[in-house]
Structure 1
């Protein structure tokens, strides 16, 4: 019995159990047709305080009895117990229920259950209930003030159960999204040294794409909120969970790359999250040094993002579709590629000019010149600006052979040459001149067109 989990910031989508596509049926007291005044409803809901109290009490006794009988035994929930707990999970999405659970000290109860649990499904449900409680600002503040609970939740990032990791990541992301407590959580994450290696281990070893997407969201949020945390994680070299110093240390950017490769094969729309993380990393010196290192992940990331742009986002016959459906992803991709391109001089060898990538940039320039109505679209304008700047970087070093390949593949026609020149001039005059010189050797006729249109 798995659970579908959506973005932590959208509480209305935080579903707990696929068998509960609606709110759970009223508890037995209401279902038996008793008078309304006899039903101890929680707030304005039809949920019973007595039923909720009984369910949580039963949970406490169940976990306590089993842990006393055999502390090491793997525990399994009965179907009835799991169904009732999933009802509580769904009920916690209601603000009145979340507040009642908080008043009932459910967070302390669930912490005790998590600490004693020998059942992955039970742990997942308990964290999921806490995640729904945390969706509301006031209950999130109260929950976040419980230091013991927060410490246990951060340690759960080292759990081996993917559904539990998914719910833990969702809960942490929810708390980081509440402005009143995000600084408190950032402080705890900085202090808990296991968070970085555990997240790296998830990214480099998990094949669960829902988990990888949510962990990517979590890293993106952390880096967006705390640049110093990002710098410390970039430079850290945590070892894997075995703690064996002889093992190759985990590298954050390499782990990010492994995760996004996994997402590409099954969940392409989620890679924008990781591209934004990479882009954030390129904004600090520590990140650029990491990508520029001769044996670092820079070249591998360059090859990967080039493939994504050329093979997945901008195929030959779908440029119009790509522009309107993938424009934000393309902005991130080009920003990352441009930063990596500027690091190439420090690699063992420069990457060969990617003709298809340059061709895509040229086609985007042509599209912009022919579609002035796009001027009101801020994302398309941002895409055009990064396209022009990146094309200028590529053209300043472009060899004659590459220009000849562009002509032979149909990427450089008279119309595209003019569009490229309009994109480069007057800001990137040196790049235009270098392109013109290479074009003169590769295709004198096209060079004459450029000279005629732009005599100065």
Structure 2
């Protein structure tokens, strides 16, 4: 399923200009779509040309040639492709999308998708629909079209990476609209092949754009439905996320953040945590590697990675709550012991960032309160701000935006605090934990991991 990601990202040319003006440069206002310079006539002509080309795809072909085209796909005329790309680019304009919706163009595009054997045509049609669905009213209307919903979900079984990229982008956008999300989720719950197809993409694709859009889609689905999260929390999904992590690690850091958050969502279900514990030898290495990649830098910079780090640590905490597996999960070898020391390093950095943000921002919040513009932010901080991070991670995640410390800093420190407390509790009853905590935190220094752990907790 591989294809150079640049081929996907650079495919749309700029919108045309000469088609929409006469020889003197005056706009053809009567033919313009809304307040744009785009021509209604040009759009209709392009769509009719597309329909005719698709209808004639099998013209003059033998049965064997038709079967071959159905299996391997066909190329399309370059002029038609250029015009379709222009139309695709134009639909980024809301007036153009609304115009196409008014003239029932989505039904026509669905007909083309269902009939064509040209992967490029299918990709462009999905790209156009993906732009149209960005408009809320269009998204709601499309979600009520059963044929569109069913066909779109079935396209996840395809094997053309660019088309899958656009299909996942379409679904991501549709599920992001409150007015259409529930209907899509209903269909997804009832269609078991959606999960199977998404898991297959994660396990087999090397296309980073496709992996990113697929992980984004899965994360959004799980975040939107507890029922689906429970149902999809399985070894096949976890295996797929691990494979996607390995693929994305050297290519796109933002994808790693989404993967780690998806694993975190899986860890909150009973079935999910059971799977993660059973697969700890698969999961722990990627968590440890992600944390190690950050901690091994000469200067540990976590500004843009706090949420992903928090997701990693929340998963570690969930795994450690299974006391029978603790030794196998965290203290099985030197790599795992290194993870313990890296987490303590992060605790130090997160605590430093928290205190710095608190010092820098508290004064600004108080100043705003004097001016009457605080939106009650300072009142929310009359209680001890540290109290925000000593509860569970979810309460920290939902902390008010009016607090003096960024919510991602709170979330990270909260997850690390939970880890430290859990580790201390485990040390009372687990000899492996006790032994690991007696290791020196750093060579040449007298402080042990246990002493540093207690010191950090005391100062939180």
TM-score w.r.t. structure 1 length? Answer: 0.79
Aligned partner of 1:355 among 334, 337, 360: 337
Deviates more, 1:73-82 or 1:392-401: 392-401
**Shift in Å, 1:154:** 0.5
* TM-superposition CA deviations, 1:68-104 (whole Å, max 9, x none): 5444333211211111000000111111110111112
Number of matched pairs: 395
Q: CA deviation at 1:389?
A: 1.6
Return the match for 1:48 from 29, 36, 39.
39
CA drift of 1:385 comes to: 1.9
Quote the Cα distance in structure 2 between the aligned partners of 1:37 and 1:256. 52
1:308 shift after superposition? 1.4
In 2: Cα distance, 1:405 partner to 1:57 partner: 74
Aligned: 1:424 with 2:457: yes
The 2-side partners of 1:422 and 1:214 are apart by 42
Corresponding position of 1:387: 416
Counterpart in the other structure of 1:283? 268
Aligned to 2:298: 317
> Residues 76-225 of structure 1 correspond to what in structure 2 (within 5 A)?
76-225=75-224
Instruction: Quote how far apart the aligned CAs of 1:145 are.
Output: 1.7
Q: Over residues 129-186 of structure 1, what are the superposed CA-to-partner deviations in whole Å (9 max), with x where a residue is unaligned?
A: 0100111011112222211121111100000000000000000011000100100000
Higher mean displacement: 336-345 or 170-179 = 336-345
For 1:305-384, list aligned pairs within 5 A: 305-310=287-292, 312-319=293-300, 321=301, 323-343=302-322, 345-346=324-325, 349-352=328-331, 354-367=336-349, 372-375=355-358, 376-384=405-413
What is the DSSP-based 3-state SS (H/G/I as helix, E as strand, rest coil) of the residue aligned with 2:233? Answer: helix
Give 1:16 shift.
Answer: 7.6
SS across alignment from 1:265: coil
Equivalent-residue separation in structure 2 for 1:99 and 1:284 (angstroms): 41
Q: Tell me, yes or no, if the aligned pair for 1:209 and 1:262 is still in contact at 8 Å.
A: yes
| Residue 381 of structure 1: how far off its partner (Å) | 2.4
Q: Which runs of 5+ in 1 are unaligned?
A: 6-14, 236-249, 428-456
Q: Distance in 2 between matches of 1:112 and 1:382?
A: 48
- Give the whole-Å Cα distance in 2 for the aligned partners of 1:261 and 1:411: 35
1:241 corresponds to: none
* Inter-partner Cα distance in structure 2 for 1:343 and 1:67: 61
Counterpart in 1 of 2:364? none
Q: Secondary structure at the match of 2:110?
A: helix
Query: In structure 2, do the counterparts of structure 1 residues 385 and 411 end up closer, same or farther at CA, with 3 Å as the change threshold?
Result: farther
The answer to whether the Cα contact below 8 Å between 1:24 and 1:90 also exists between their aligned partners in 2 is: no
CA-based RMSD of the aligned residues comes to: 2.8
| 1:201 Cα offset (Å) | 0.5
SS at match of 1:46: coil
Q: Residues 280 and 329 of structure 2 are in contact (CA less than 8 Å); yes or no, is this contact kept in structure 1?
A: no
CA contact 1:134–1:175 (8 Å) conserved in 2: yes
Partner of 1:163, secondary structure, is: helix
Q: Distance in 2 between matches of 1:306 and 1:387?
A: 14
TM norm structure 2: 0.79
Q: Does 1:25 align with 2:24?
A: no
Partner residue in 2 for 1:402: 436
Q: Do 1:16 and 1:90's aligned partners in 2 also have CA atoms closer than 8 Å?
A: no
**Cα separation, 2, equivalents of 1:369 and 1:426:** 9
Distance 1:225 1:185 in 2: 11
| Aligned-residue offset at 1:264 | 1.1
Partner Cα separation in structure 1 for residue 201 and residue 173 of structure 2 = 19
Hey, what does 2:255 align to over in structure 1?
A: 270
Residue 49 and residue 285 in structure 1: after superposition, are their counterparts in 2 closer, same or farther (change >3 A)? Answer: same
What's the offset of the Cα at 1:425? 4.5
CA displacement at 1:286 relative to structure 2: 1.2
